[in-house]
Structure 1
Amino acid sequence: MQGGDTVLIDFTFKNIRSFKDEVTFSMEVGEGITEYIEANTVRLGDIEVVKSSFIFGGSASGKSNVIRAFQLLRDIIVYGTSSDLESLPVDTFANGAGNTYFKIRFIKNGNLYSYELNYDDNNINKECLVVNDNIIFKRTIDDIIMPLSIKGLKGALRANQSLLYFAQSNNVSETKVAYEWFAQDILVLSLSNIDLCNQELFKPLYTNPNLKEKVLYFMKAADFHIKDIKIQESFIPIQENNQNLESRLHLQFEYECKNGGSFTIDYEAESISTRIFMVLAMMILNNYHNSKLFLIDDFDCFLHPKLVNILLRIFNGWNDTGMQFIATTHNTDILDAPIRTDQVWFVDKSYYGISTLDNAFDYNELSIKDIKKSYQDGLYGAIQIINDSMIKDILKKDDSKR
């Protein structure tokens, strides 16, 4: 067995935002591709997967909704519901009716896990966990096969509660490992969670001085010219006149002046690119020896191309831990990097607002250069099609007058 012992194999979902119909996103390698096997793929037993995947598509095509689907499934499992009165989180196509469906397969600790979930606002309609072909639990509206150790608790399971969440909270070992994969091994980064209000994200910088030094070194290596990262902790009342205190972190970047002095800039006042790269550095360095799954939406939008290139090397050629990386992007220059066709995905949206998801490998193109040209020519859809004439018309521009 090579690499890490935790990887995503594939993820199927249906009725999530613009994805009305069932689609499958797979990290399994494409048959017959021999490029960058050592650098860009990892094998665990009989399963071989790519280390990274890139999802291309025009603005509003729905590519971010692939990341949203991962987040939604993770939230249902990790946070559960607090009572019968709480609705399950849904984000259906056009806010319409119909069940939401998930199926995900992954390997953790050398075991193959398959988890399936079908639900609506108020009920789990189907749920199943299989480990190495052994059914751990299976649930439908009419029947429940419970793990033997908690069979007597069948009556305590709510209709709006994930059995995976329920079983792990009652110490069923097989379900605890699966739950930990969702809770600890999936890391999501987007513009919405790089703010300092996400205290849990930044806490390791405060509690682990060694990590802070590594992040600072990483930032300097990437030419950010930061002298130091200053972190202060304060405590504020949770409510007015309440003695219960809540921890708050305050981050500043220190820069050196020409005269030998220094000045500081609050984290919130820094550029988006600086904040994104620091969070990326922190997540990578804090988990570098662990097989995590990184999900990043528009990861390259605010980063210099050279920073994007170094991240590609970190997640592919320099990555020997089984760490995986899934990113949405507009940047076709990524297609000039040493990647394989089975690492490239396209999201397109129909006239009726329905997104589709396709792998470049399925177009029978083995050359990534051919894929780039065909994509830029619009042969796969998933690209922004601009109608110059309509824009000139609304602006009342007439070429004949020039």
Structure 2
Amino acid sequence: MILEFSISNFRSIRKKQLFTMIASSARSKSTNIFNVNLANGSSIKLIKSVGIYGANASGKSNIIHALFELRKLIIDTKEISIDKPIPAYDPYLFNINSSNKPVEFEVIFLTKEKHKYQYRIVFNQNEIIEESLHHFPFKKPQEIFKRGKEKSEKDENIHIIKLGKNFNYKKYEIYKKIPLLSIFGKAENYHTTISPVYTYFNELEIWNVTESSWVRRLSDYIKEELQNPENKLLVKQIEKLIYEADTQIQSLIIDPNKKINETETILIDDKKSINRVRRNEVLFGEHNVYENQNIVTTHALPFIHESFGTNKLFALGGLIVKVLNKGGVIFFDELDSSLHPLLSSLLIRFFQINHQSNAQLIFTTHETYLLNKEFRSDQIWFTQKNTFGETELFSAQDFDGVREDIPFEKWYLGGKFGAIPYVNNLNSIVKNGKKEIG
């Protein structure tokens, strides 16, 4: 579970911006929040789901991308090179005072065991400047480690980090560009207090679902899950969701022995050339076959022949069901892309109605249809850029006079929350077939 996430000097975000999933004191729509009893005896109320709105290029995707890069920095250390900058280093470039300054991330969260932690990391392109991890076994934080300026006398590229008092002051030597947290994902370094933090970041589900390649990867991931004999319930749950979405798919068939080879053309990462690949399909959607308006048989259609929207519904819906079953946090960038507004709404309502296992859903979207009266003000967040092009992040509850029964969609489109594009006069752009300058 995520409690808070703050970002400084990353992409379009210059000054510190704070995002929180801690519920406000509002009493309305209490089914949209849930209570968690922490391992230290305290309790906290959290929000089930949050939507982040904003104009194009306002920076809403950068909120999710920041967490994606933080996770990648911790989990994928193989991408860190001696001769190259830290991959996650992407500072705000439009201010001379920040373009060479460090990036800073901080997350406060709960592990599945309901232990509270605070992780902070500060880095430039050459090294990690600060890194700290605090645990809350009681109400006050307990320092597990704090990375500072201590370096090896033999090699200045090696940082020396010492664990806290309650961890016997054990020392670790680590390369200057690698987070200390990353080493606790290895079996030989397992630590009962620290390794669950690594697991937390590893299990975050962060997906940019506006790109077909990401949707394909997510779809393949869900198909692999469905092939597990222990996931028969998951198959039935996703099957029910797909059917209720009016896709005309009566049931799902998982048949690894019925693989077909499908040749398709995809754009590879450099986006300059194409690559022909073969994909195997193990998922089929069963459709009714009619004669004289009567069902006479069924036909199993390979799922890759279903529409992109149906495949996206399967991918997103499948992940939502999986996380609802096991717990976790999902981040979807551009949830509504290639989905009908009613289907986007269906996924969110499905998540909130069937909420269990302390799951959470955070998504970015342009779809104002989702700003309905089923949402609380603390579930609605906005991004907008100020005069200097810096992203600012805020929620609907930050505005005075906002009641929980207001028409959020009408207020948002009317500009009362900001975070919308302000279109200038279009009349003078083209005149008599010629572009006017100035």
TM range (shorter): 0.7 to 0.9
The residue type paired with residue 410 of structure 2 is K
Change (3 A) 1:396 1:278: farther
For 2:317 and 2:408, the matched residues in 1 are separated by: 30
For 1:69 and 1:196, the matched residues in 2 are separated by: 20
1:195, CA displacement in angstroms?
A: 1.3
Which region of structure 1 is more displaced relative to structure 2, 223-232 or 321-330? 223-232
Do 1:19 and 1:356's aligned partners in 2 also have CA atoms closer than 8 Å?
A: yes
1:378 aligns with: 415
Q: 1:46 aligns with which of 43, 47, 56?
A: 43
Q: After superposition, what is the alpha-carbon deviation per residue over 1:187-219, rounded to whole angstroms, capped at 9, x for unaligned?
A: 435233111487445321223461334322321
Change (3 A) 1:83 1:38: same
Unaligned runs of 5+ in 2: 151-159, 262-277, 434-438
Matched, 1:341 2:377: yes
1:204 aligns with: 225
Unaligned runs of 5+ in 1: 1-6, 237-246, 398-402
For 2:255 and 2:104, the matched residues in 1 are separated by: 43
Relative to total residues, which structure has the larger helix share, 1 or 2?
1
2:290 aligns with: 258
Matched, 1:57 2:54: yes
Do 1:56 and 1:344's aligned partners in 2 also have CA atoms closer than 8 Å?
A: yes
1:126, CA displacement in angstroms?
A: 0.4
Matched, 1:121 2:125: yes
Do 1:115 and 1:129's aligned partners in 2 also have CA atoms closer than 8 Å?
A: yes
1:91, CA displacement in angstroms?
A: 2.5
Q: Find the residue that maps to 1:320 and give its secondary structure.
A: coil
For 1:150 and 1:266, the matched residues in 2 are separated by: 57
Do 2:260 and 2:281's aligned partners in 1 also have CA atoms closer than 8 Å?
A: no
1:93 aligns with: 92
Matched, 1:103 2:137: no
**1:3-402 equivalent positions in 2, closer than 5 A:** 7-31=1-25, 33-44=26-37, 45-81=42-78, 84-85=82-83, 87-89=85-87, 90-94=89-93, 96-108=99-111, 109-132=113-136, 133-142=141-150, 144-146=161-163, 148=167, 151-152=170-171, 154-155=172-173, 157-169=174-186, 170-192=189-211, 193-196=214-217, 199-208=220-229, 210=232, 211-227=234-250, 228-230=252-254, 232=256, 249-254=280-285, 255-259=287-291, 260=296, 266-364=302-400, 365-369=402-406, 371-387=408-424, 389-390=425-426, 393-394=429-430
The residue type paired with residue 227 of structure 2 is Y
1:400 aligns with: none
Which region of structure 1 is more displaced relative to structure 2, 84-93 or 348-357? 84-93
1:379, CA displacement in angstroms?
A: 2.8
Q: Find the residue that maps to 1:283 and give its secondary structure.
A: helix
For 1:13 and 1:37, the matched residues in 2 are separated by: 29
1:395, CA displacement in angstroms?
A: 6.3
Do 1:9 and 1:107's aligned partners in 2 also have CA atoms closer than 8 Å?
A: yes
The residue type paired with residue 215 of structure 2 is I
TM-score (norm 1): 0.84
1:76, CA displacement in angstroms?
A: 0.7
The residue type paired with residue 379 of structure 1 is K
Q: Percent identity, please.
A: 24
1:19, CA displacement in angstroms?
A: 1.0
Change (3 A) 1:178 1:370: same
For 1:326 and 1:395, the matched residues in 2 are separated by: 45
Do 2:9 and 2:104's aligned partners in 1 also have CA atoms closer than 8 Å?
A: yes
Q: Find the residue that maps to 1:373 and give its secondary structure.
A: helix
More relative contact order, 1 or 2 (CA 8 Å, 6+ apart): 1
Change (3 A) 1:367 1:329: same
1:83, CA displacement in angstroms?
A: 5.3
For 1:366 and 1:322, the matched residues in 2 are separated by: 27
1:324, CA displacement in angstroms?
A: 0.7
1:391, CA displacement in angstroms?
A: 5.3
1:111, CA displacement in angstroms?
A: 1.2
The residue type paired with residue 102 of structure 2 is N
Which region of structure 1 is more displaced relative to structure 2, 17-26 or 310-319? 310-319
The residue type paired with residue 195 of structure 2 is K
The residue type paired with residue 224 of structure 2 is K
Q: Find the residue that maps to 2:106 and give its secondary structure.
A: strand
1:93, CA displacement in angstroms?
A: 2.1
Do 1:226 and 1:253's aligned partners in 2 also have CA atoms closer than 8 Å?
A: no
Do 1:185 and 1:291's aligned partners in 2 also have CA atoms closer than 8 Å?
A: no
2:273 aligns with: none
TM-score (norm 2): 0.77
1:119, CA displacement in angstroms?
A: 0.8
For 1:164 and 1:116, the matched residues in 2 are separated by: 11
For 1:98 and 1:181, the matched residues in 2 are separated by: 28
For 1:52 and 1:202, the matched residues in 2 are separated by: 25
For 2:421 and 2:220, the matched residues in 1 are separated by: 37
For 1:290 and 1:379, the matched residues in 2 are separated by: 39
